[in-house]
Amino acid sequence: MSLVDSINRTTRRIPPWTLYIVGVIPAAWYFYLGVVGRLGVDPVKELEHSYGELALQLLIAGLCVTPLRRFTGIALIRFRRQIGLLAFFYVFCHLLVWLFLDVQILGQIWADILKRPYITIGMAGFVCLIPLAVTSNNFSVRKLGRRWRTLHKLTYLAVLLGAIHFVLLAKGFQLEPLLYLGAILVLLGLRIRLPRRAQPA
């Protein structure tokens, strides 16, 4: 039995809903650490960073599912909904931290959303994710039919906006956000070639 087969066999035994439980634990744990004063001296920023970074990583994980199956045969498609919804959950937590723990001042919140390109772009990413989260259920998949797949192409835009948001907020010339953006561009690039390849000869 090949490695891929054994991976697939093992993952098939994991019920997808368990991902929700595992996925929410870091959010709760970081928040707890923040409340008891164990997230360093600037806990609000730290929380904002942890949630933002996890959100981006989960969005990227979601993008990996298809290429992973295509190039290695590892099938994680059963978990894609959970990955996507968790990503949305983390973006939402990230936004809540910003709203209620960081900025707090309504006037400044509006000003920031309208005036700060990195906030505007992050917000646009969040807005893109809302219809995706709302339709991430069997009922919507059935109801929307082919349109569901079209709608969910919005993921690509949302991830891209998330990464650009990260690049924009870095001070000076920093490597990390560019690596994320690069990884996303590669993952999206792989998809551009997919339809052609998929056509029967």
Partner 1 sequence: MAYRWTNDLSREDATPERAFLNRRQIMAAAAAAAGLGAIGGPRGARAATGELDPNEWDEITTYNNYYEFGTGKSDPAQYADALTTSPWSVTIDGLVDRPGEYSFDDIMSKMTTEERIYRFRCVEAWSMVIPWNGFELADLLDMVGVKSSAKYVAFETALRPDEMRGVSFPVLDWPYVEGLRLDEAMHPLTIIATGIYGRDIPNQNGAPLRLVVPWKYGFKSIKSIVRISLVEDQPPTSWNKANAREYGFYSNVNPEVDHPRWSQATERPIGGGIFAGRKETLMFNGYGDDVAALYEGMDLNKYY
Cβ neighbors of 40 (< 8 A, separation 6 or more) are 46
d(CA 174, CA 167): 8
| Residue 85 vs 163, nearer CB to partner 1 | 163
Number of residues lying near partner 1 (CB under 8 A):
32
* Residues 160-189 interacting with partner 1 (rule: CB under 8 A): 168-169, 171-175
| Residue 44 vs 133, nearer CB to partner 1 | 44
For residue 102, what is the DSSP state? I
Give, for 136, the enclosing helix (H) or strand (E).
none
* Selected binder of ligand HEM within 84, 94, 136, 184 (CB under 6 A): 94
* Residues 40-59 interacting with ligand HEM (rule: CB under 6 A): 48-49, 52-53, 55-56, 59
For residue 36, what is the DSSP state? T
* Selected binder of ligand HEM within 47, 76, 123, 132 (CB under 6 A): 123
Instruction: Check binding of 160 to ligand HEM (CB under 6 A).
Output: no
- Dihedral of CA atoms 124, 90, 175, 182 in degrees, nearest 10, equals -60
* Selected binder of ligand HEM within 64, 169, 188, 190 (CB under 6 A): 169
Instruction: Check binding of 60 to partner 1 (CB under 8 A).
Output: no
- Dihedral of CA atoms 185, 188, 192, 197 in degrees, nearest 10, equals 120
Sign of CA dihedral 77, 95, 56, 27: negative
Number of Cβ within 10 Å of residue 72's Cβ equals 11
* Selected binder of ligand HEM within 79, 155, 162, 181 (CB under 6 A): 162
Taking Cα atoms as reference points, which of 70, 46, 51, 62 lies closest to residue 160?
62
Q: Which residues bind to partner 1, rule: CB under 8 A?
A: 32, 34-37, 39-45, 47, 101-105, 108, 111-112, 115-118, 168-169, 171-175
| Residues that bind ligand HEM in the complex, under the rule CB under 6 A | 48-49, 52-53, 55-56, 59, 91, 94-95, 98, 119, 122-123, 125-126, 158, 161-162, 165-166, 169
